[in-house]
Amino acid sequence: MPEKELKNIALLIDADNTSPKGIDPVLTVMAELGQVNIKRAYGNFAKNNLANWDTITHKYGIRPQQQFDLTAGKNATDMAMTIDAIDLLYQGKVDGFGIMSSDSDFTPLVTRLRQDGLIVYGFGSTNKTPGAFKSACTRFIDIDALIKGASDEPDTTKTKASKARSNVDEELVELLGTAWKAARRDDEGFAQMGEVGQIAGNRSSFDVRNYGFKRLSDLFEAMEQFKVERRDNTVWVKRLR
């Protein structure tokens, strides 16, 4: 039987506004979508603050796109990334994008790509990235959380609960609670976790990795507001309070 064809994914990196330390975990996440065949980093690599990208681009097969600062106050990097993304869109050979940046200037680009039905994952620093860019992405994932998660030891039940208490806020509880209400529930009030997660994802750029968890089931199990049940190979959740 022939193997399932992998989708063609492009990762475009705004080197001026992201950290090279996140490349490895970002590529791991992008593997969810398909084969990342196009990897390009944009910036003025003649600057000292981008010197660390030299080793990274060689290690991961990233093509550096040199953009000189031709005019003070104007960002050639943003323009070059946008032009390349639109070129790839109209060539019709790319099925999804990853955009590494904390710059809100890419919000119209992400919106345009999604209008054509493409999945767009955004990667940036939660504290620096404006809400408009986060919301525009299919998923927005905090690079700092990815880097920390890649270096963490495997979670125990105790550490999972500790993470939930420190990372989960009322906004997340409300998002998941609303998704649970919208999902189909059985007579006992349980809904399939996959459906709840899909509804939550459609309503926002929610991703469990932003809260220090690798799986949605881990997050629900650590939240005291929900009860989790496993039935055969399906996970069910119920809002308690």
Among 27-36, 66-75, 167-176, the range scoring the smallest mean pLDDT is 66-75
- What would the mean pLDDT of 74-100 be, rounded to a whole number? 90
Query: Which CATH code for domain 8-150?
Result: 3.40.50.1010
Query: Which CATH code for domain 154-239?
Result: 3.30.420.610
Residue 62: which pLDDT band, with cuts at 50, 70 and 90? very high
Please give the model's pTM, rounded to 2 decimal places: 0.75
Q: What is the mean pLDDT of the chain?
A: 84
Residue 1: which pLDDT band, with cuts at 50, 70 and 90? very low
- What would the mean pLDDT of 145-160 be, rounded to a whole number? 65
Higher pLDDT among residues 238 and 154, named by residue: 238
pLDDT at position 129, please? 86
Burial 158-170 (b: 16+ CB within 10 A, else e): eebeebbeeebee
Give the residue extent of every domain in the chain: 8-150, 154-239
Q: Residue 64 to residues 43, 53, 81, 103, 130: CA-CA distances in angstroms?
A: 8, 9, 12, 19, 26
